[in-house]
Structure 1
Amino acid sequence: MKKTMTAVVAGALVLAVASPALAAPALANTALANTGSSPTSLQSRLDRLTADPALPGALATVRERGGAESVTRSGTAEVGTGKPMIGAEGRFRIASMSKPIIAATVLALAERGKIDLDAPIERYLPGVVRGTGEGAAIDGRKITVRMLLQQTSGLREFTDVVEWVEPMPDFLKVALARKPTRRGEFAYANTNYLVAGMLVAEVTGRTYQQASRDLVLVPYGMRDTYWPEKGEMGLRGPHAHTYGVNPARPEDGPVDLTDQLPTELFGPSGGLVSTPSDLNRFWSRAPLPDMTRTLTPIKQEGWPKGARYGFAVARTSTSCGTGWFHGGDMPGASVISGRDRAGRTATVYVTGLTAAPKQREKLLAAFDSALCGR
């Protein structure tokens, strides 16, 4: 018997029982620099987050350019136990923070001459990206690899319309049957990175998981980051508990989700498990000049004012200058991670989904404080 699941939005990656607006990172529609005018400390900002019962634990980890790391924590690692929030070694589902790792993998392959960023995806996946029905105009011969990475391909999101049942449908098939957005303009969709993962597998002869491990995770020293195995529900190693609504059983209300989510299902768009320390290592090694060589204006609602998007990284203004970041959301966790011009990196995450605008503003404010040393 098929088990019907509620509509789940896999957007930043947002995998949440939420509105379609969360199909893009649900960031406040203001510049990060405007997230607060008072000199509030990072600890205070984290405490404001965990004052919300839906966000029991919060952590901010900062890595200086020289490698020194500092950690600020708030709340508990497990509701009802009094255990303090886990440190920077704690593993959690990073959702759409998986996208920058996939983008870096594609760039590594491009550097080796295996991928031409300006070639049509048809060259590598012949006949795969062809629309049907309302999506008949979708044509992989007109969509470049660069467009996939930059979210300008015109491919539509699948997660806000898919019927979430077991066995799950073919996500790409669902997306290809939808009317496309305007090619060349930013429109965030997990479909782009679903296809990017297929591209990586095709040109390497390995899975995207294996390729990203060899080209990014291992070289960057991200030793605690992993792609879960098929059917794996829990988190390996040290971790805080995560809380929210299980999309398979929304009638249960908020529950402990730590061992209830099949993370591998969310693929290259959002399937990674990592740690704050590893995400900071990523930003300290990522090819940011290549990831931001071309930037497209983000006119979609839900992003910081004036933000521009590169290859799975957004450029925006912070209270201390220019910053680069990406976010991720799913039931049980929300994260924002990035770096500044000087090479300072910061990651802030909470053990619940920041779906409400006020929650998101507080998370953004904490990230700004962490990145800017306030």
Structure 2
Amino acid sequence: MSEQTPPTLRPLRQHPDGRRPEGRRRGRPAAAAALALAAVTAGILTPPAAQAATGRPDTVQQGLNALVHTDGLPAALASITDRTGHTRTHTAGVGDLTTGSPVPDDGQVRIGSNTKTFTAVVTLQLVAEGKISLDSPVDTYLPGLLHGDGIDGRHITVRQLLQHTSGIPDYTRSDLRPRPYEPRELVEIALGYKADFAPGAGWAYSNTNYVLAGLIIQRVTGRPLAEEMERRIITPLGLRHTSFPAPGDTTLRGPHPQGYYQEAAGAPLRDITEIDPSWAWAAGQLISTGSDLNRFFGALLGGRLLPKAQLDQMRTTVPAPYFGPGARYGLGLVSRPLSCGGVYWGHGGSFPGYETRGGVTEDGRRAANVAVTLQPADKAVMDRVEHVVDTALCR
């Protein structure tokens, strides 16, 4: 496929639209790719232990198989943590279309906007410590930074950032080339647009909100955002496969499936695994695994990361149909209805090459995360990914 100018980056949205960016190319020998895809089509998939032991089809595995066989995704992964704390992993498809290698169990992926929940947790921990006030204006912490057409940091609160009610435009509506970015540069891009609405007068998903939250964290702590996430969340919870890539680090360092990009329906798949993630920063830069995400969301809903007062604030929601029927958005946390009754809490994330969906039940005792290695252009495919999450949490 010929080289081209990288198109608009909008991969942190829950249902990405438009084209996605270029990444570093990898070779894709036709014979190896054909053999890999033929293996998937022929159904050469290892059944989970539960299915092998009982002879009954596993509904989660069936869902992943369908995402590969029917929807044409290169790979799908799931990690399911039950009420006893036991985690079962599932895979389908091919981990690398060049070599035909299998999908690694519980492989690392770029988790996109799940990063927002980590950023919100750090912010709310600082609220509990008296270092940040949710209802203070952004200008208190970042004086003079927010200014523009309908945008004034003196009238936008920290709470409005975390809940996407600030009206600040999303910087990803601009044409961003995949290269290193500084957080303030991303904010400046957003300030070139008119406010979406007056602060508190509406709801609109904007990655800029979380870049600003990350800048506030750095201002009040005097430490890098990555360091704060590490010492406050990643290390205490033992998230051994979760990391915030260093500037210029384009790699996934643990076992992982390759992530792919497709210019248009029917176009060749292109390996986009290696990409500079700095344009996502506090809104979407983290790398993790399904089991680590399950541990994180379980700990969060189980009260291990925040005092009750701040967790209650985090779970105070407004309608967010952008995330699907019945969805509501708190402070970096989304609730979605379950088909078996009640809701589950999580976020979800989109990043070039990867889509992740998942969360934890209301009591924090059952968690599921599903990842696929291509951003589907068809919303119906993402609905089926989310259905696998629902199946895992309801069974």
The residue type equivalent to 2:337 in the other structure is S
1:100 to 2:117 alignment: yes
Identity of aligned residues (%): 36
> 1:58 is paired with a residue of what secondary structure?
strand
Asked if the contact 1:334/1:349 (under 8 Å) is kept, the reply is: yes
Aligned to 1:282: 296
Deviation at residue 254 of structure 1 after TM alignment: 2.4
> 1:9 is paired with a residue of what secondary structure?
coil
The residue type equivalent to 1:141 in the other structure is R
Deviation at residue 227 of structure 1 after TM alignment: 1.0
Aligned to 1:160: 173
- Are the structure 2 counterparts of residues 213 and 240 from structure 1 closer, same or farther at C-alpha, using a change threshold of 3 Å? same
Aligned to 1:195: 212
> 1:67 is paired with a residue of what secondary structure?
coil
Asked if the contact 2:11/2:352 (under 8 Å) is kept, the reply is: no
The residue type equivalent to 2:9 in the other structure is V
1:9 to 2:10 alignment: yes
- Are the structure 2 counterparts of residues 290 and 366 from structure 1 closer, same or farther at C-alpha, using a change threshold of 3 Å? same
> 1:201 is paired with a residue of what secondary structure?
helix
Asked if the contact 2:7/2:19 (under 8 Å) is kept, the reply is: no
Show CA shifts across 1:300-333 (max 9, x none).
xx42112110011111211122111211112211
Q: Residues 85-164 of structure 1 correspond to what in structure 2 (within 5 A)? A: 85-88=103-106, 90-131=107-148, 135=149, 137-164=150-177
Asked if the contact 2:6/2:177 (under 8 Å) is kept, the reply is: yes
The residue type equivalent to 1:254 in the other structure is L
1:295 to 295, 317, 327: 317
TM-score, reference length from structure 2:
0.80
Aligned to 1:360: 382
Aligned to 2:238: 221
Aligned to 2:94: 76
Show CA shifts across 1:216-255 (max 9, x none).
11122212111112111221011111111489xxxx9521
1:309 to 2:329 alignment: yes
Asked if the contact 2:179/2:276 (under 8 Å) is kept, the reply is: no
TM-score, reference length from structure 1:
0.84
> 2:295 is paired with a residue of what secondary structure?
helix
- Are the structure 2 counterparts of residues 86 and 16 from structure 1 closer, same or farther at C-alpha, using a change threshold of 3 Å? farther
Q: Distance in 2 between matches of 1:189 and 1:216?
A: 24
CA RMSD of aligned residues (A): 2.5
RCO higher in structure (CA 8 A, sep ≥6): 1
- Are the structure 2 counterparts of residues 173 and 243 from structure 1 closer, same or farther at C-alpha, using a change threshold of 3 Å? same
Q: Distance in 2 between matches of 1:97 and 1:359?
A: 20
Q: Distance in 1 between matches of 2:179 and 2:5?
A: 7
Deviation at residue 53 of structure 1 after TM alignment: 6.9
Unmatched tracts of structure 2, length 5 or more: 21-56, 304-310
Deviation at residue 358 of structure 1 after TM alignment: 2.0
Show CA shifts across 1:160-195 (max 9, x none).
223537575822112112111222221000000010
Q: Distance in 1 between matches of 2:72 and 2:10?
A: 19
Unmatched tracts of structure 1, length 5 or more: 20-38
Once the two structures are overlaid, the 10-residue window that deviates more, 4-13 or 341-350, is 4-13
> 2:250 is paired with a residue of what secondary structure?
coil
1:240 to 254, 257, 260: 257
Aligned residues between the structures = 340
- Are the structure 2 counterparts of residues 233 and 54 from structure 1 closer, same or farther at C-alpha, using a change threshold of 3 Å? farther
The residue type equivalent to 2:117 in the other structure is P
- Are the structure 2 counterparts of residues 165 and 263 from structure 1 closer, same or farther at C-alpha, using a change threshold of 3 Å? closer
Aligned to 1:271: 285
- Are the structure 2 counterparts of residues 304 and 73 from structure 1 closer, same or farther at C-alpha, using a change threshold of 3 Å? same
- Are the structure 2 counterparts of residues 147 and 106 from structure 1 closer, same or farther at C-alpha, using a change threshold of 3 Å? same
1:336 to 2:336 alignment: no
Deviation at residue 294 of structure 1 after TM alignment: 1.9
Off by >6 Å, runs of 4+ in structure 1: 13-16
Q: Distance in 1 between matches of 2:112 and 2:94?
A: 21
The residue type equivalent to 1:268 in the other structure is A
- Are the structure 2 counterparts of residues 279 and 241 from structure 1 closer, same or farther at C-alpha, using a change threshold of 3 Å? same
The residue type equivalent to 1:304 in the other structure is G
> 1:236 is paired with a residue of what secondary structure?
coil
Q: Distance in 2 between matches of 1:78 and 1:162?
A: 29
Q: Distance in 1 between matches of 2:180 and 2:92?
A: 39
1:66 to 2:87 alignment: no
